[in-house]
Structure 1
Amino acid sequence: MSHRNARLTVHGRRLLIERVISGRPVAHVAAEMGISRTTAHKWVRRFRSEGPSGLADRSSRPRSTPHRTPAGLEARVCRLRQDRKLGPARLGPILGLPASTVHRILTRHGLHRLAWLDRPTGTVIRRYERDRPGELVHIDVKKLGRIPDGGGHRTLGRQAGRVTRGAMGFDFIHSAVDDHSRLAYSEIHSDEKVATCAAFLTRAAAFFHAHGIASIERVLTDNAWAYRKGLAWKAALATLGATGKLTRAYRPQTNGKVERFNRTLLEEWAYLRPYTSNEQRSQALADFLHTYNHHRCHTALAGKPPITRVNNVPGQYN
């Protein structure tokens, strides 16, 4: 495996092979490149048997591990983890294994993070990402209680700011998130009726188009009536040339990117600080969206903001 003091990289190995193929003695080429004849012959031998692919680094993992935990015992560890959601320190005594061994087994099978499991069933949540911007857009609505003038309980305290539940009404935050780039768009409305949802989709498509996403191919939503039966919603999809997709009932993981965006929306906008009025909170949404799209780093995007991925292929950023 290559390391920071290695004499030969993959490019250096190719250079070695080119010089040997040209007819020069292996010993002379090895001396020129500062490596031993044994090393030079090793790479020549690999090239002759495997071709150019033989010059790549190989894994340092051994071909066999006779002392590895038996497969049946590993299966028991995984089953207990998924059934009881216990950590290595508690699974170890049950199975008679060191906690470190249990942790290695869980890591090997992708079960070492509880956040990666569906809590009710214990199955591993399958992560996915579309290949290009606009291929799939997630849409959802988050309902928030309106803030009375002067502030609610976050500003005035529990008793002074207490308002009868629902007395002020609710704001409905409609959000759209592009699956590939995570570019997000949100609006605040007073309802989630069909006409409102359809008009929001049209404006969201215009927003994405203005930021480099030429078209939307599919739109993924939950099973709300407006998305299932609304004629205006279907007409908006047809105008965009997009296909509507519905999540499985009671499976918010399918629509997970916009669900996670809703959580960020609450933490970094709605509940970020006490607001003294509903209008003040509404006005702060635009600043949050700009920060989210243009400046906030995203762990799924290698620490880059969503806008950097709109016009780039997967894994490449400005």
Structure 2
Amino acid sequence: MPHANAPLSPTGRLRLARCVVEDGWPLRRAAERFSVSVTTARRWAERYRAQGRAGMVERSSRPATCPHRTSRHRERRVVGLRVKRRWGPARIAYHLGMPPSTVHKILTRYQCLRLSWTDPATGAPVRAQRRKVRHYEHEAPGELVHVDIKKLGRIPDGGGHKVHGRQRGKRNSGATRPGYWHIHNAVDDHSRLAYSELLPDERQETASAFWARANAYFAAAGITVTRVLTDNGSCYRSRAFNEALGEDVKHKFTRPYRPQTNGKVERFNRTMLEEWAYAHAYGSEAERVAAFPEFLHHYNHHRGHTALKGSSPADRVPNLSGQNI
């Protein structure tokens, strides 16, 4: 459909072309009569000679060929990563060395739903859409460190439901009562560098000792922590934890019932569950615990972070030891 200011409709083009082809008008006279350029008059006259009345309609502006279009094999890799690993456009792009905008167009062309519109476990579409949270980031490492505790059930002796199915997995769990890990995590706001430990409880003494080791880890990487953000748990409001922070570290608390305030460590918790705790069907808890240091090293040194435009936390902390391992 022609735009509002187009001087020629399909009927007007037909009249112009007939004046030139059938009546023998010069191109300049026809162009002046219909208030168009000589080039436009020539174009419609040539189309009329070649196609007749059918040539007076609009043609698609899409090119006949596109030599730089992404190959079908690469498009399948993009869709495969989305389906199998449930990665977003940015992470797929950094993994394949492609612009995120290109990956987004491929996913749109193949009608892939947004991850926020699907169930995290099954990938099935859901109606509820998650509200976007405004992104923020401190300018330098150590200006804010997010601290949190993630509770994780241990695998029972003989394996859990991922190995043996729900029924036997429940029987093994009920017979042995494996208990829980309390995973203490500390994530730097700027670099996303993470320090984590599997500990038996969340008492104030345990949390205080964890922070002392986490602070030493950040200091060894050349990061001076000046502010710590935690939730309102009793272990973090204790005198022991306050003494462990010291006078040089300012302690901030999240808003009650608002885990989004501590979003970076909450996102690390989710990554930890997806890429370590539930990534494989472990045969025992010892096997899963043994895989934890490898996951943490991969996260800090090699895993591309979408918020860092494909860089790893180690890329933002040049003094981090073992970066090239």
1:29-58 per-position Cα deviation (integer Å, ceiling 9, x unaligned): xxxxxxxxxxxxxxxxxxxxxxxxxxxxxx
Q: Equivalent residues in 2 for 1:30-179 (5 A)?
A: 125-162=133-170, 163-164=173-174, 167-179=177-189
Counterpart check, 1:186 vs 2:196: yes
Q: Which runs of 5+ in 2 are unaligned?
A: 1-113, 118-126, 320-325
Counterpart check, 1:292 vs 2:299: yes
One-letter code aligned to 1:297? G
* Inter-CA distance 268–165: structure 2 relative to 1 (3 Å threshold): farther
One-letter code aligned to 1:222? D
Map of 2:208 onto structure 1: 198
| Partner residue of 2:241 out of 211, 230, 233 | 233
Map of 2:5 onto structure 1: none
* Inter-CA distance 166–234: structure 2 relative to 1 (3 Å threshold): farther
Map of 1:252 onto structure 2: 259
Map of 2:226 onto structure 1: 217
CA shift, 1:120, in A, is 9.9
Map of 1:12 onto structure 2: none
* Inter-CA distance 121–289: structure 2 relative to 1 (3 Å threshold): closer
One-letter code aligned to 1:184? A
CA distance in structure 2 between the partners assigned to 1:157 and 1:227 by the alignment:
38
The share of aligned pairs that are identical, in percent, is: 58
CA distance in structure 2 between the partners assigned to 1:148 and 1:166 by the alignment:
6
Count residues with an aligned counterpart: 195
CA shift, 1:208, in A, is 1.2
1:133-165 per-position Cα deviation (integer Å, ceiling 9, x unaligned): 000000111101111122111111111111239
Map of 1:73 onto structure 2: none
Tell whether the 8 Å contact from 1:145 to 1:166 is kept in structure 2 after alignment. no
TM-score (norm 2): 0.56
CA shift, 1:115, in A, is 5.3
Map of 1:110 onto structure 2: none
Q: Any idea what SS the aligned residue of 1:225 has?
A: coil
CA distance in structure 1 between the partners assigned to 2:162 and 2:178 by the alignment:
15
Q: Any idea what SS the aligned residue of 1:281 has?
A: helix
Tell whether the 8 Å contact from 2:116 to 2:130 is kept in structure 1 after alignment. no
CA distance in structure 2 between the partners assigned to 1:278 and 1:211 by the alignment:
30
CA shift, 1:126, in A, is 2.2
Q: Any idea what SS the aligned residue of 1:164 has?
A: helix
Tell whether the 8 Å contact from 2:116 to 2:129 is kept in structure 1 after alignment. no
Tell whether the 8 Å contact from 1:175 to 1:187 is kept in structure 2 after alignment. yes
1:54-94 per-position Cα deviation (integer Å, ceiling 9, x unaligned): xxxxxxxxxxxxxxxxxxxxxxxxxxxxxxxxxxxxxxxxx
One-letter code aligned to 2:140? R
Tell whether the 8 Å contact from 1:140 to 1:175 is kept in structure 2 after alignment. yes
* Inter-CA distance 297–253: structure 2 relative to 1 (3 Å threshold): same
Tell whether the 8 Å contact from 1:138 to 1:220 is kept in structure 2 after alignment. yes
Task: Report the aligned-residue RMSD.
Answer: 2.5
Q: Any idea what SS the aligned residue of 2:168 has?
A: coil
TM-score (norm 1): 0.57
CA distance in structure 2 between the partners assigned to 1:257 and 1:216 by the alignment:
16
CA shift, 1:125, in A, is 2.3
Which has the higher Rg, Structure 1 or Structure 2? 2
1:105-131 per-position Cα deviation (integer Å, ceiling 9, x unaligned): xxxxxxxx8959xx9998752221001
CA distance in structure 1 between the partners assigned to 2:236 and 2:274 by the alignment:
27
1:218-255 per-position Cα deviation (integer Å, ceiling 9, x unaligned): 11011111112x1110000116x211110001111110
Tell whether the 8 Å contact from 1:269 to 1:285 is kept in structure 2 after alignment. yes
